[in-house]
Structure 1
């Protein structure tokens, strides 16, 4: 499933943590590791400074080379490709995905202090939004899990076929790591509240929302059993993105696997809504799967 894994890096703590997760995944899949550092052309003057240890390199280029070298040292394999390039970071990452036929991107959500190159809303968000392959985003924070492991995988679903695009990835990871999959569906409390204001006449609609959520997790459970994967299911009331992040922490999940698009129309899991907020706020790594990707 994952044969060519791209790990963009700027040498930040977030990028290093992402590389450590990349090491776990590439070891499990026997994948080739691609380490890419992009010197932002918008800050690049092309002039080497006197302080540079390597003649002809600017300070930014030297930092980029040091970043990929440091990341390469984390991997216990010789199957590593490194590249330093100049460009707009998100565009360069997406171009490399296509050029190298990458099937997974693993990247941090925050970068170096100041401009924070990998801050969500900038590079990472653009990559997740436009990538045609799954993207694993890893946040560096004090609340983050202390170890890079995959023992419990949380899969949020709204019951749509698009949201189930995440399941093959979750199941394959569960098989390789002998992990448990938990299907999670959220009954949006805001919808329930608006329904209750209409009193008894719409009580059946509330029951319908709960039934839909239960049906969604039942389908996850059935597919997991068919794939011979250990599974649990949970239905909770709440605001979807907040509930997903909170449940991921409270349940001890090591990874959230979520499709980037959900129901048409309301698009509960449309990037820019639930999935984007989960990527931005989750202390647990998030694997975002484009809804039209081939598993």
Structure 2
């Protein structure tokens, strides 16, 4: 079962409401985790004060930080969040402040709101969102402003057709987390897996190649692997989806079809070219989703910011 002890909710100045705090509170109510509300501030005029003495610059920074701490305390009181710790940090790179706080304070979950586009049904992810997805060692929950209803649909995006050990371990981790959230929210777990289409160049270059037989073979392999994986975690066949296509198309399509509240996806854990490929796939999937997203790192992931201050 989910064992969150400490949740970090990222507060944003430009928001009247704070969906991250609401979602963090919802999870805290069910897990008993403590919540810290974190606001990262920076005044661009600070860059123009090079003629001031170091002490004067420091005084300016302290004054801005204290002012925002007072604002945050009052803002939380007005929103009804009275028993939440407050952290206000000065940093022009918000993601760095968040990740360093996560590492230094053993944070179990980071919750941050996403931005909805006014004209489209899509969600816009900020540079801070992307940096957190790539570099934060703890799970990152990106949320919209909506309730999590009882009996909601939860998706674990798995890659069951792979023989890669890291992928298989991540499949297990994602499915366990999905089951935990289903118990937490009284929801339903769905497993989604995509498999590639027949390579067109092979069909053209090799006359004796049978694309239909190849496609059926790949499909049946993924279906069999999915059936075995689902059975291991007590998930019914009706809640599994194995579809041909790119994951960035298949996963959002299924999420829309079943009106998913939450998609749980694994993000990059390796380094080098394979990391770039895995990372890009995850990010393309996330960019197409119109629901909450929980991004999870493989076990053993070390943030590139772990040794930087």
Q: Which band: TM-score by shorter chain?
A: 0.7 to 0.9
From 250, 255, 261, give the equivalent of 1:248: 255
Structure-1 residue corresponding to 2:196: 188
Task: Give me the CA root mean square deviation.
Answer: 3.6
Report if aligned partners of 1:154, 1:257 keep a CA contact under 8 Å in 2.
Answer: yes
Report if aligned partners of 2:261, 2:291 keep a CA contact under 8 Å in 1.
Answer: yes
Name the SS of the counterpart of 1:270 in structure 2: helix
1:3 aligned onto 2:5: yes
From 104, 109, 112, give the equivalent of 1:104: 109
Structure-2 residue corresponding to 1:36: 38
Distance 1:258 1:63, change over 3 A: same
Distance 1:46 1:288, change over 3 A: same
Superposition deviation, residue 270 in structure 1: 1.7
Structure-1 residue corresponding to 2:159: 158
Higher Cα Rg, which structure: 2
Distance 1:223 1:251, change over 3 A: same
- Determine the C-alpha separation between the residues in 1 that align with 2:73 and 2:249: 34
Structure-1 residue corresponding to 2:87: 83
Unaligned runs of 5+ in 2: 50-61, 161-166, 302-309
Structure-2 residue corresponding to 1:220: 229
Report if aligned partners of 2:157, 2:251 keep a CA contact under 8 Å in 1.
Answer: yes
Structure-1 residue corresponding to 2:176: 168
Report if aligned partners of 1:108, 1:139 keep a CA contact under 8 Å in 2.
Answer: yes
- Determine the C-alpha separation between the residues in 1 that align with 2:133 and 2:44: 21
Superposition deviation, residue 138 in structure 1: 2.0
1:210 aligned onto 2:223: no
Distance 1:119 1:2, change over 3 A: same
The one-character-per-residue Cα deviations of 1:38-95 (angstroms, maximum 9, x if unpaired) are: 0136664599xxxxxxxx743x8645653565356556672x2111110121110001
Given the two structures, how large is their TM-score scaled by the length of structure 1?
0.76
More helix by share: 2
Name the SS of the counterpart of 1:102 in structure 2: coil
Report if aligned partners of 1:14, 1:139 keep a CA contact under 8 Å in 2.
Answer: no
The one-character-per-residue Cα deviations of 1:146-199 (angstroms, maximum 9, x if unpaired) are: 42346211111111314312122111111222211001111234x555554456
Superposition deviation, residue 237 in structure 1: 2.1
Structure-2 residue corresponding to 1:137: 142
Distance 1:94 1:17, change over 3 A: same
Superposition deviation, residue 218 in structure 1: 1.5
- Determine the C-alpha separation between the residues in 1 that align with 2:101 and 2:288: 27
Superposition deviation, residue 202 in structure 1: 4.6
Structure-2 residue corresponding to 1:148: 148
Given the two structures, how large is their TM-score scaled by the length of structure 2?
0.73
Structure-2 residue corresponding to 1:53: none
Bigger shift: 157-166 or 87-96?
A: 157-166
- Determine the C-alpha separation between the residues in 2 that align with 1:281 and 1:249: 10
Unaligned runs of 5+ in 1: 48-55, 141-145
